[in-house]
Amino acid sequence: MASPVQIMLWVLLVLVSVSIVLAYLLRGKAVKQSVQELLGVGKKKVAKLLSEFRRKTFHLLGLLVPVIYYASLKRKFLTQWQGVAIVGSIASIMLLVDILRLTVPAFNNLFIKSMGGLMRKKEQERINGSTYYMIGCAATMALFNPTIAIVSLLFLDLGDLMAALVGLSFGRIKIYGGKSLEGCIACFLTCCVVGLIGFSNVRLSEYITVAGALAATLTELFFDQINDNLTIPLVSGLVMTVAKIRLGVSIPLY
């Protein structure tokens, strides 16, 4: 029988597939008008929301990292350090591509023409968020217990996604740097659900989950100076590791 973690990861794979289809369908003026009527928000906010959704959908492909990592460890296809080596190698290649495009304007222009729609404007002249994501994945996988690493990466993938989409769609109460209370609550609750499933067979898992979810939410809210693809999994992973040690519990891979 499949464990709760396995069920969650299968659901996430379905989510990625559905999101990709939706991102393809959510195009054109008619769609923007329908979304505007549904949410009751202005045209600019709808355009920003749809743009963010398409960008986040592409980033949802990053879910493949924790999913494949889990499956590989579970089936003993890879060890933790082999996984780190593979993801670290991919991150290194992506970093080299970013360095190349930032030093060769012609290559950067070509890169932006093909991938610019999936990048924030500020990323066009600096290291790409996807590169930071792969670096964050490699570091998180190297530093933490595999289950904690997987949950931390899902905090980033899903918590950050919900913070952005809920904040843009329904955010009314601004609390810091233009970010909304509604987005923060969505991030926290999403992380709590992920953590409770990920640690479903761990004693006192609710304490580890709430500590990690709170750390991820506060990091997403306040740590603007460093890319959140690095900070969210590393900070939440560290907090959950400390909580695990303080509670004296073990966290195996389920």
The predicted pLDDT at position 54 comes to 63
- Mean pLDDT over all residues of the chain? 83
CA atoms of 244 and 211, how far apart (whole Å): 10
pLDDT tens sequence across 183-242 = 999 999 999 999 999 998 899 999 999 999 999 999 998 887 788 899 999 999 999 999
CB 229 within 8 Å of CB 177: no
- Give the range among 1-5, 138-142, 168-172, 216-220 with minimum mean pLDDT: 1-5
CB 144 within 8 Å of CB 250: no
**Half-sphere exposure (Cβ direction) of 103: Cα atoms closer than 13 Å:** 6
DSSP string covering 49-75, please?
HHHHHHHHHHHHGGGHHHHHHHHHHHT
The predicted pLDDT at position 20 comes to 59
Largest CA distance in the chain: 56
The predicted pLDDT at position 7 comes to 74
Instruction: Tell which wins on pLDDT, 248 or 172.
Output: 248
pLDDT tens sequence across 2-44 = 677 777 777 777 766 666 565 555 555 544 455 444 445 555 5
CB 54 within 8 Å of CB 26: yes
The predicted pLDDT at position 39 comes to 47
Q: Check whether 50 has a pLDDT greater than 80.
A: no
CB 171 within 8 Å of CB 165: no
- Give the range among 36-50, 53-67, 76-90, 154-168 with minimum mean pLDDT: 36-50
The predicted pLDDT at position 138 comes to 97
* Cα 238–Cα 171–Cα 29 angle in degrees, nearest 5: 115
CA atoms of 178 and 123, how far apart (whole Å): 19
Q: Where are the alpha helices (DSSP H) in 75-204?
A: 80-103, 105-115, 129-143, 146-154, 160-170, 181-198
Question: Whole-prediction pTM value?
Answer: 0.82
